[in-house]
Amino acid sequence: MSRIQTRFRALREAGRSALVPYVTAGDPDPDFTVPLMHRMVAAGADLIELGVPFSDPMADGPVIQAACERALAHRVNLRQVLAMVARFREDDPDTPVVLMGYLNPVEVMGYETFAQEAARAGVDGVLTVDLPLEEGEDLWAALDAHGLDPIFLLAPTTDDERARRVAARARGFLYYVSLKGVTGAAHLDLAAVRERIQDLRRLTDLPLGVGFGIRGAEDAAHVAAFADAAVVGSALVRRIEEHLGHRDAALAAIEDLLRAMRHAMDARTQESGP
Amino acid sequence: MSEPYRLPDERGHFGPYGGRFVAETLIEPLDELAQAWSRLRDDPQFRAELDRDLAHYVGRPSPLYLAERWSEQVGGARLWLKREDLNHTGAHKVNNTVGQALLAQRMGKTRIIAETGAGQHGVATATVAARLGLECVVYMGAEDVRRQAINVYRMRLLGAEVVPVESGSKTLKDALNEAMRDWVTHVDDTFYIIGTVAGPHPYPEMVREFQAVIGREARAQMLEQAGRLPDALVACVGGGSNAIGLFHPFLGDEDVAMYGVEGGGEGLASGRHAAPLCAGRPGVLHGNRTYLMEDEDGQIIPTHSISAGLDYPGVGPEHAWLKDSGRVEYVAVTDDEALAAFHELTRCEGIMPALESSHALAYARQLAQRLGKGTDVLVNLSGRGDKDIHTVAALEGIRV
């Protein structure tokens, strides 16, 4: 069983939802990321999504675009991101790490090389935002061969038939994009998300995470009431942006937000779920 | 007319290129677009409406002009110019925006968005949006907004909202990213008019079909006026829509050679250019797999060309396929060579070409000399040069 599957099984048994922070690797500089990952785990993160910086992040809002630009100013590349995961793994053998990014840097490295080196570094899952079901079989086959979980997005525009096909190819968990828009957008309709998650439960047994637009403890707690994971990205990355040049303050601000989310989420028992 | 191949396949692939590389949210709207397009492309009423607009609004057919004096000066092949510069709004771009706007209207979309580099596609989009009474938002890199103030004002006069894009390199590629972000946010009421033969399926095929009117006309005109097909076609390639539009109806004519001319900037060796087919490698950007300008980490790198319309790090996926298959030869022309061709055509034919088209002219000149007397070279004069007067004047130190 993969680290992701193990983690979700344990959470399910405990009746808890996963808190999943996203940060862009190398933002604001390459030395910040590994200590940040440990700090997030200490604050209650169950799984970490690590963004691979890309020059043209089409699905991301302004906050994560700026994070990519800060990381790329240090020429942070995919190999360095894998090295960060390997360093994180030296002290944390349990917390799953999912790489989230765009296809082109992976294309350049080569699917087989990437899958092999990602597995060796201790990566657990891979989400390539711009690689839909129809185009990715070669990459996913390489991930399969190295025991990595392919993670997929489902959107409000994804119909049941397609969701079923995506779920059949996915492993680990499914990531439901809670709104039509880019990361960090503002118009989260929790009632609609809840309804859709309940529909999706009938199509798949995979854990269902929700992200895009979760800003604070209250949103996270609402999401935890019906989903298996709450993903928070832009709200954390914004803390980095607000404390540029002050690493301790940035770490503390991120820790505070995650602790508040964890606390609010655990105060609610999960209402639905198998 | 024989078709040498039936590409793309049903999922938009030209061999290994093309496809649909977008986030999950856009899959359904792209399916909706592909369905509407396949329903309407052969619909007689839609075709009649499009043909009427092309005739009476755009001003088609555009002439095929034998540039006798220029041919004589060059001293080789006869040089023929397909006069897309005479279209309404001054370039080939409008062939596509008229078509996509009709499609948007049929699909019940009330809001149009577009990306633009130099502003030509933005102007052509704002123009058709004004005519159909559709809301129009044009994304343009902040750097381009500064460089192309007149086109920005033109779009605003036409009622479009022009949004400067401050992210990344603040140029065309970033405008495209931002248009995609807008679309993903407003998929229900918004139609995204992509300006070139790139992007996710069905855009490359759809834009090609709207632009293929150039080649269909040129082929018939050539047969009528010269009594034979040309020996070679030449067109500039940024995203590649004017080139595909000219080339496509000739693909089955094996004796017609084809040359796509990229923006060579300060020369391929300098690294400062916009020539992904000549000096890039395959990758994935903006919804399709194609040749890209990228670094060793797979990050997209800044491009340079004197011509804003060629200043793009990718290229339409069908060009990538035509390059690999060897059917079309892709070459690059430097800023200086293009500028010389701009002046030469202006002075000896009284036709001021766009700097984009000047790249095709510069290569056609070399080719005409190589092929020699008794041959025919057909060049797509994709746009007029009025928009570039400030650029040319500034290079010569003249304030206008």
Q: A164-182: per-residue pLDDT in tens?
A: 999 999 999 999 998 888 8
Share above pLDDT 70 across residues of chain B, in percent, rounded to a whole number: 99
Between CA B308 and CA A18 the distance in angstroms is 48
pLDDT (average), residues B117-128: 95
Amino acid letter at A164?
A: R
Q: Is the pLDDT of residue B252 over 80?
A: yes
Tell me what pLDDT residue A183 has.
86
Amino acid letter at A171?
A: R
Question: What is the number of CB-based contacts under 8 A between chain A and chain B?
Answer: 124
* Residues in B touching A103 (Cβ below 8 Å): 21, 284
pLDDT (average), residues B169-181: 93
CB-hemisphere CA count at 13 Å for A151?
Answer: 32
Q: Which of B297, B300, B301, B303 to mutate to test the interface with A (most CBs of A within 10 A)?
A: B297
Domains along the sequence of chain A with CATH: 3-272 (3.20.20.70)
| CA-CA-CA-CA torsion sign (A139, B206, B213, B8) | positive
Say if A153 is an interface residue toward chain B (CB within 8 Å).
yes
Phi/psi for A50 (5° steps) reads: -110, 120
| Structural tokens at position B254 | 């094996």
For residue B190, the distance in angstroms to the closest alpha carbon of chain A comes to 13
| Known catalytic residue at A117 | no
Taking CA atoms, B299 is separated from A78, A93, B101, B189, in Å, by: 10, 31, 33, 33
For residue A134, the distance in angstroms to the closest alpha carbon of chain B comes to 8
Tell me what pLDDT residue A186 has.
74
Q: CB distance A134–B11 less than 8 Å?
A: yes
Task: Read off the DSSP letter of residue A179.
Answer: S
ipTM: 0.95
Tell me what pLDDT residue B4 has.
58
Q: Is the pLDDT of residue A273 over 60?
A: no
Amino acid letter at A75?
A: R
Q: Which residues pair with B139 in a beta bridge?
A: B115, B163
Tell me what pLDDT residue A269 has.
54
Sheet containing B135-141: give its strands across. B161-165, B135-141, B111-116, B190-192
Q: Is the pLDDT of residue B309 over 80?
A: yes
Nearest by CB to residue B184, choosing from A106, A154, A182, is A182
Say if A57 is an interface residue toward chain B (CB within 8 Å).
yes
Long-range contacts, A13-17 (Cβ 8 Å, 24+): A15/A269, A15/A270, A16/A224, A16/A265, A16/A266, A16/A270, A17/A223, A17/A224, A17/A227, A17/A228, A17/A229, A17/A230, A17/A265, A17/A270
Among A27, A46, A60, A124, which one carries the catalytic annotation?
A: A60
DSSP, collapsed to helix, strand or coil, labels residue A193 as helix
- pLDDT bucket at B2, cuts 50 / 70 / 90: very low
- Chain B residue closest in CA terms to A109: B297
- 3-state per-residue secondary structure call for B263-292: ECCCCHHHCCCECHHHHCEEEEECEEEEEE
- pLDDT bucket at B143, cuts 50 / 70 / 90: confident
pLDDT (average), residues B53-61: 98
Share above pLDDT 70 across residues of chain A, in percent, rounded to a whole number: 98
Q: Which of A103, A109, A113, A135 to mutate to test the interface with B (most CBs of B within 10 A)?
A: A135
Q: A2-50: per-residue pLDDT in tens?
A: 999 999 999 999 999 999 999 999 999 999 999 999 999 999 999 999 9
For residue B286, the distance in angstroms to the closest alpha carbon of chain A comes to 8
Q: Is the pLDDT of residue B254 over 70?
A: yes
Cis peptide before B164 (omega within 30 of 0): no
Q: Is the pLDDT of residue B370 over 70?
A: yes
Do the Cβ atoms of B90 and B386 come closer than 8 Å?
Answer: yes
